[in-house]
Structure 1
Amino acid sequence: MDGKEGNSWSGGASFGLQSGMAVIPYTLLTAYRRLGLTGSETLLLIHLLSFRQIEGKDFPSLEELQAVTGRNGSVIASELQKLIKEGFLKIVAGSDERQGIHYERYDFSGLYDKLGSYLASQNDSSAADGNRGSIRSGGRAVSLGTGNNLPGDAFGEDESRSLFVVFEKEFGRPLSPMECETISGWLDQDRYPEELILLALKESVFAGKVHFRYIDRILLEWSRNRVKNAQDVKAYSQRFRGGR
């Protein structure tokens, strides 16, 4: 390596170090598969941690995540929804009364709890093996409550992803993480069928009120009136428009 090459390399290294260094839990890199994470989901978590540590952004937009990952917004949104559903992330809302602004941020406490539980289980396993320090491939004793890699989960992810795509087309823009969490809540907490959610979206389009609060009110009204499918929606609409 001659002098010019050496100066070029050292200059590049210096610039890179001055740009900042993110601290990533080593266990996340070595055990992500055992935690039920894919490589792309792990990289997404790393980017979120880096945004917070280097750029001071607690809630990067989908556009910013697209720029650093080079991936489709609906795919990123689907992965965020999964990370939230399985307890690796939370979205926390707050407000700054002095500046009069509301904000959202990602909470990583679930991720750290899972990493801590994993390490504790490995220590227990090592102790049971006579302190040999071996990590068994059967780290199945770790119960993380994530339903890791169950065959049936693939359908649920595809179902959610299709909903994201339909909503993005109707809204004409990428969905925000909070909007993705709302859809996740409709599916996982409220147990609304995908068909019913799409029908509520259709109703909001016809009414010219394409926003999540209006769609949520439609779903709540249908739930109170035991509307569960397209046939029920049709009967309820006829009854409602006919003055009951």
Structure 2
Amino acid sequence: MLKDNFLAWMKEGNISIPSFLLSHYKRMGLNELELMVLLHIQHYNEKGNSFPTPDQISERMSVDSSQCSSLLRRLIQKGFLQIKEEYREDSILFEMYTLDPMYDKLLQFFLKVQNETSSVQVELETEESLYTVFEKEFGRPLSPFECETLAMWMEDEHHFTMIKAALKEAVISGKLNFRYIDRILFEWKKNGIRTPEQAKTHGQKFRLQNRREKKQDIPQANKTVPFYNWLEQ
């Protein structure tokens, strides 16, 4: 008797559910009732019933037929479910549910999550590389205060390329300190400078202006090439 029951149970079969769907259905815009309707439709399809009625689905759920009809309409409107029309071999037209839209959405959302994960990894690697670049230029490990300042710059909408450009500007000006770099970033943000190219042009412009002013004030024999002092602006 036990063997017969076990065989009968095995013949009922299993339903395969993508684990990604179970872990992300909420983020995809599904609630528990909508998910269960989709799973019941999949199970009916596998059993040979491609167009189960709301009554048939509601018998397996804790909602009535009217609520089930509303769930089905909502799933179609959300693009998780579709009704297709096909002809049988006897040329009779019949309707069927297809879950292809759900799997399309599932694939697209999976790729989106993968891209999000990759972006986070890139940000972590970028953050690590910025610390490395700064320590290389300073020739020493950064202090806790300097690390906190660098993290603050990255949180304050300063792209890592602009932070590196500000570091380069400080090196060129011979003023390698965080206060000077912070002033550079502040001036760039205030003047709407968003790219390293714009920053380079901006710095060259002020250095050229200072050079011309120095020519008038410094004797020819003692003339030096000045740099734009961001802290004096």
| TM-score of the pair, normalised by structure 2 | 0.49
Normalised by the length of structure 1, the TM-score is: 0.47
Task: Point out which structure has higher relative CO (alpha carbons under 8 A, 6+ apart).
Answer: 1
